[in-house]
Chain A
Amino acid sequence: MDLLKLNEPSGDAFVFLVLFAVVVGGPLVVEKLKVPGIIGLFLGGLLIGPHGLGFIGSGNTTVFSLGKLGLLYLMFVAGLELDLGLVKRHRRSVVVFSVLSFALPMVAGTVAGRALDFDTSAAILLGALLASHTLIVYPTIKGFRLGSDPAVATGIGATVITDTLALIILAVVVGSTEASATGLEIAVQTGLGLLIVAGFSFLLLPRIARFFLARFGSSRTHRYVFALVALLAAATVAQVVDIEGIIGAFFAGLALNRLVPNEGDLMHRIDFFGAAVFIPVFIVSVGLVLDPSVMTEPETLRMAGIFVLACLGGKAIAAALTKPLLGFSWSQVGVLFSLTAAQAAATLAVADVGKQHGLFGNGVFNAVLGLILVSLVVASVVASLAGRRVPVPPEPASSAYGRRVLLVGSQDCEFRVTVAALAVRLAASDGGVVLPLIVARDGDAMPDLHEIEGLERRLGSAGVDLPVTVHADDDALAAVRHSVVSLSASSVVVDDPVGEWSRSMAPGDGLGRVPMLIVSQVSGRTRRVVARPDKVAPSMPVADLARRVAPARAPVVVDDGAPGITTGATDLVVSAVGADVQPDGATSTVVTVV
């Protein structure tokens, strides 16, 4: 009689075990060899897949479905994280470099494809694939404190345009695989489809998001799940109009970009689940189909070599041309090249779609994976070498007041929702975050956990998604000063319902370069914003702050003392401390800048 019956490991639990073992172990192993972790995920997928140990067979639909979700998530995050403000601020250099960085590899890839006897669709798709890039080495560049360098900003901004163009080309090429369509029909069908997806993503989705976050956004779980629903809805709309779902997911990320600050809690959750589950599962699922026998074939290696030459050559020439055209130094050219050479997300997405549509075979797909591996190594090495040669740029003259807004609660440890909304608008002007703070003075009861959770829920409905910090200090101003330093705040908004702060503050009492906006009186609705700059200290950014806190569609009027401007019941008045505010109605909002 057998006392212990052992079965061979199998079933869903075992499949998920090996999958997540690779997700956690693959990068750990390769990073010890100074190789990017993404390679470990590819190789791990190869190990457990049908061409390796066979733990996950080619017929397994669950892992591949999860992988597809991971791909959509990857493209959503790519759109969400892009800094659209950079594109605006460095418009000229971004456009010039985008054209070069897209066109040169695109042409080189298309020519290479035709030389390899690919048909036109496959050659063009190859070109688009080589023309995209992923900002894998950006953390390395940021580590050199080059985040605000013009070349870095140009490279980041160019990603929006090159990846969007690559995906549009993908939509057109995939549309062309419909056997019965002529070229003109393809152009019209694809154009209409893209318009519908763009309309849904950029017009409808942000409105739905604002409504949902305002009504139900008090729960962090709801906010996160809503983000998932948004990305899947856009992908579904795309699929319905015969456009690849990844384009919908990317557009959804771009559309919600402004509503999800990069430093906010929601972005952290999106990043967390993406980095922990969805995106690694996608990369492992790609590794499952890696076929070493195909990868090492002479023809595959030859193709990979040609792809590397076309891609990295095109990107290198594009970067080099910025020296005469945009005046960048050679070190900046190196940094720009490293930022745009790395092929990962969009390349994988386009290659995978090309394969699923029968445009690319296993050989081409494996050659593209070889390109990705080489580009990641080259980009990492060049980033390390060039990054240290670029001088750290000085802090920009105009401050990003909205980057980290410290929101100080009232003396009774509360936040008025309208004041929180004002702080959120200030933060949104720079894609920043709001950091809520309660100052508990000696003798006051400290809010307990339950009360703090209640505060966070109410703040969540106003769009504040970071936790409340509690600071105990008898001197509220000192507490705010300490918090400005410890939290690196760029501005302060104080909820001052009883006028304690605005009555006690005088010119010169402020926080130096960090403006403090004291909100005393609050009205129900603001239809206009009136800025009253300080004539004694004209450098105080009253007008700038007024524009940042103005609600959408509320005009901003700068009152420099000329007759004819009087404030009324629906005006938000922003003035320097000590200035004569004199609201004409008891219900105007008063913001005093110190």
Chain B
Amino acid sequence: MARCGTARWAVLGVVLVALACGNDDATANRAAGTFHSRRPGVLTVATAQVPAVGFWEGTAAAPTGGFEWSLAQAMAKRFGLARVEVVEVPFEDLISGRLGGADLALSQLTPSAQREARLDFSEPYLPAKPAVLVRAGHHVSDMATAREQRWSVRRHSTLEQFLRDKVRPKRPVETVEVRQDSIDALMRGEVDAVLLDFPVAAAIASTSAGRLKVAGQFPSEDNLAVALPDKSPNKEPVDSAVRSFTTDGTLRRLADRWLRVNVTGGLAEDIPLIAIPS
């Protein structure tokens, strides 16, 4: 009889816990860190390029969708901020730590030791192995073939460094300021392959009406992360937000919707891995 009584109290206690937790306002949780925006009620997000296929759609003044736009909105909601404003900041400025007055930057940025000297990066929100974007019908599935290609890559990006250090193409590499220039050159046949982060390459390929495809990807621990000003007090709440979105499936849903690939695993399905000889 005593045991039944104890069990009843235990069940009641658990129900009370559930009821208490159900009424929580997640924006008020100091345990996960408190976000301090520069402007009250506004999350100001910097990005290098709008539109950026799959990541930012519409214009900077009036975004209409995209993975990073949706992520910004999810973060604003979690932080209790009423709206998101977007500022376009040149890529060079972003990686130099100048966010143009924004709270954070969402611009398909990959952390690196050099960048971490000037910026703080959050927990990663997408894995980003370097991937090879080519015209349909073209194949690059091993390193020897990769070295023979005419490459294009964004200047001063981690991918440029990767291309020169690991791939070591035999032909001169075309570097561009703006990523779209690489894509245009690829479409015109001026280059054979463009090195991009996998989610970016996948998004571009999926909206190219079959003209472009991701031929392969290289092994790497690279990922995309939110960039914050150096020593930002907002790193903790942004980290908590990214972890929460990873665990509750928000990131997976956003990737399915805007990038149309499964990018939350370590290796994207069906895309061959190009081994790097030691």
Q: Which residues of A contact B (CB under 8 A)?
A: 7, 11, 57-62, 95, 99, 113, 116-124, 126, 165, 168-169, 172-173, 175-179, 181-187, 190-191, 355-364
Contact = CB atoms under 8 A, between A and B. Distances in A.
A260 B192 CA distance: 61
Interface of B: 2-3, 6, 10, 14-15, 17-26, 28-33, 78, 123-124, 127, 221-223, 235-237, 239-241, 243-248, 266, 278
Nearest to A173: B21
Most chain A CB within 10 A, of B15, B123, B239, is at B15
A169 to B, nearest CB: 6
Q: Which 10 A-B pairs have the closest CB atoms?
A: A358-B244, A183-B22, A176-B21, A59-B221, A187-B18, A183-B19, A122-B31, A117-B30, A119-B29, A118-B31
B22 A185 contact: yes
Most chain A CB within 10 A, of B17, B26, B223, B237, is at B17
Given A124-B21, A169-B14, A361 B26 contact: no
30 contacts: A11-B278, A58-B123, A59-B127, A59-B221, A95-B3, A117-B30, A118-B30, A120-B20, A120-B21, A120-B24, A122-B32, A168-B14, A172-B17, A176-B21, A176-B22, A176-B24, A183-B18, A184-B19, A185-B22, A186-B21, A187-B14, A191-B14, A357-B243, A357-B247, A357-B248, A358-B247, A359-B240, A360-B32, A361-B32, A362-B236
Contacts of A175: 18, 21
B243 to A, nearest CB: 5
A360 B21 contact: no
Contacts of B236: 361-363
A61 B33 CA distance: 25
B18 A361 contact: no
Given A117-B28, A361-B33, A355 B243 contact: yes
A190 B21 CA distance: 12
B124 A113 contact: no
Contacts of A360: 31-32, 240
A355 B26 CA distance: 14
A87 to B, nearest CB: 11
Given A62-B266, A172-B14, 17 more contacts: A118-B29, A118-B30, A119-B31, A121-B29, A172-B21, A175-B18, A183-B19, A183-B20, A191-B14, A357-B247, A358-B240, A358-B245, A360-B31, A360-B240, A361-B237, A362-B235, A363-B236
Given A357-B247, A358-B241, A181 B22 contact: yes
B269 to A, nearest CB: 15
A28 to B, nearest CB: 29
Contact of A356 (B25, B29, B30, B246): B246
A99 B10 CA distance: 10
Main secondary structure of the interface of B (DSSP, over half): helix
A360 B236 CA distance: 9
A426 to B, nearest CB: 29
A58 B223 CA distance: 9
B221 A119 contact: no
Most chain A CB within 10 A, of B29, B78, B241, B248, is at B29
Contacts of B266: 61-62
B223 A59 contact: yes
Given A61-B266, A172-B14, A184 B22 contact: yes
A179 B26 CA distance: 9
A153 to B, nearest CB: 18
A173 B247 CA distance: 14
B244 A357 contact: yes
A97 B222 CA distance: 50
A358 B32 contact: yes
Contacts of A187: 14-15, 18-19
Contacts of B222: 59
Contacts of B78: 358
A359 B236 CA distance: 11
A150 to B, nearest CB: 19
B23 A59 contact: no
A177 B18 contact: no
A361 B31 contact: yes
Contacts of A60: 221
B228 to A, nearest CB: 13
A521 to B, nearest CB: 42
A183 B23 contact: yes
A361 B233 CA distance: 12
Contacts of A99: 6
Contact of B20 (A58, A124, A358, A359): A124
Contacts of A183: 18-23
Nearest to A127: B17
A363 B240 CA distance: 11
Contacts of B6: 95, 99
Contacts of A181: 22
A351 to B, nearest CB: 11
A62 to B, nearest CB: 8
A160 to B, nearest CB: 13
A116 B30 contact: yes
Given A59-B124, A358-B243, A182 B30 contact: no
Given A7-B278, A118-B29, A356-B247, A176 B240 contact: no
A178 to B, nearest CB: 7
Given A118-B31, A359-B29, A182 B22 contact: yes
Nearest to B249: A178
A364 to B, nearest CB: 5
Contacts of B23: 120, 183
A361 B243 CA distance: 9
Nearest to A92: B2
Nearest to B23: A183
B58 to A, nearest CB: 25
